Structure 1
Amino acid sequence: MQDDPEVAIGPDRSLLLVDDDEAFLKRLARAMEKRGFEVVTAGSVAAGRAAAGAHPPAFAVVDLRLEDGNGLDVVEALRARRPDCRIVVLTGYGAIATAVAAVKVGAVDYLSKPADANDVTNALLSRGEALPPPPENPMSADRVRWEHIQRVYEQCDRNVSETARRLSMHRRTLQRILAKRSPR
């Protein structure tokens, strides 16, 4: 990345952030504004599609799973309104199938959460065909598993029995995992 962020970003610095995690969305918006982007935020598929239709941005960061649907719907709306928009898809689920689907509908990159503002900026501004460098501190397999369990637990409205059923896990095993601190 270049030293002057405004040169790297270009004249159109509009950025749409779509994520239903309000705290993450605010934190990322502040960090991206500090990097020279003009940020608009949306917390749902409907709000993301509306923002894409009203003012198609030059850049976008879209969460894959939103409360009211799939973030790929926002990616498709962005592509329809502005084919040159550079879109990065974020998700708590790092699966090859969803990465392929994101790229097929027009995303330029796919990042697993938790991604920091530097990762997002590098993904948005990378122009080369070379793969980006691996993260310095990738999540451990235990941490990825824990994050997945937490996400399913939240989606099941913090119902231990339903979460255990969906994860094909014994309820007591799940309770022990949920009682522990997150792994590093």
Structure 2
Amino acid sequence: MDTSRRQILLVEDEPFVALVAQQILEDEGFAVHVAASGADALSIAKEGGTEIRVALVDFGLPDVRGDTLVAQLREILPGLRIVVASGYGADELVAMFRDLPGVGIVSKPYDGDTLLTALRRADPGFLPRE
């Protein structure tokens, strides 16, 4: 992994959404590790994810629910900050993750500004303010 750049794990099963999010994040200087499933994300985290500081996780993955993946990623990387992305009701997700520090929510569809704002909320020191 490229440790000279800020590391982020992008977990998204829809190729177009992943491509757009990856481009937004790379334009901001991130080294982006893309996973199309929960299993891929866990593999990346186990294989050297200690440099990954933030994960952007789609809640509706085909192999695992977002809340389960968040818990599994936190077991591997306890200090990991996470932004959960979903096209479903944000209120339900806020209630689900309310008691977990360092977990933020972003509603889909999101644009670059919305995504970067969610990342800043999850980890204020990770992404400089403009």
- The normalised TM-score by structure 2 is 0.79
Identity of aligned residues (%): 33
| Contact 1:75 1:106 (C-alpha < 8 Å) held by counterparts | no
CA RMSD after TM alignment: 2.1
Higher relative contact order (CA 8 A, sep 6+): 2
1:105 Cα deviation from its structure 2 partner: 4.7
Are 1:118 and 2:108 matched, yes or no? Answer: no
**Cα 1:109/1:85, change in 2 over 3 Å:** same
CA contact (8 A) 1:72 1:105 kept: no
Task: Indicate the SS of the match to 1:72.
Answer: helix
What corresponds to 1:81 in structure 2?
76
More helix by share: 1
Give 1 or 2 for the bigger CA radius of gyration. 1
Q: Larger % of strand: which? A: 2
Conserved 8 A contact 1:15-1:60: yes
Q: Aligned equivalents of 1:107 and 1:81: distance in 2? A: 15
User: Residues 70 and 81 of structure 1: is their aligned pair in 2 closer, same or farther, counting only changes over 3 Å?
Assistant: same
Shift of 1:111: 1.1
Change (3 A) 1:86 1:13: same
Task: Name the counterpart of 2:17.
Answer: 24
Mapping 1:16-95, distance limit 5 Å: 16-56=9-49, 57-95=52-90
Contact in 2 for aligned 1:89/1:107 (Cα 8 Å): no
Structure 1 gaps of 5+ residues are: 1-10, 129-184
TM-score (norm 1): 0.58
State how many pairs are aligned.
118
Distance 2:102 2:90 in 1: 15
SS in 2 for 1:58: strand
Which whole-Å deviations, capped at 9, do the CAs of 1:119-161 have from their partners, x for residues lacking one? 1222112339xxxxxxxxxxxxxxxxxxxxxxxxxxxxxxxxx
Counterpart CA distance in 2 for 1:71 and 1:118 is 23
- In the alignment, the residues of structure 2 paired with residue 87 and residue 50 of structure 1 have an alpha-carbon distance, to the nearest angstrom, of 17
Aligned to 1:108: 103
Which residue type is aligned with residue 95 of structure 2?
Answer: V
Letter in 1 for 2:19: K
Asked if the contact 2:90–2:105 (Cα under 8 Å) also holds between the matched residues in 1, the reply is no
Cα distance, 1:50 vs structure 2: 1.3
Helix, strand or coil: the match of 1:61? strand
Write the distance in 2 (CA, Å) between the matches of 1:95 and 1:125.
Answer: 18
- The one of 87, 92, 96 aligned to 2:91: 96
Unmatched 5+ stretches in structure 2: 126-130
- Rate the CA distance shift 1:43–1:20 in 2: closer, same or farther, 3 A: same
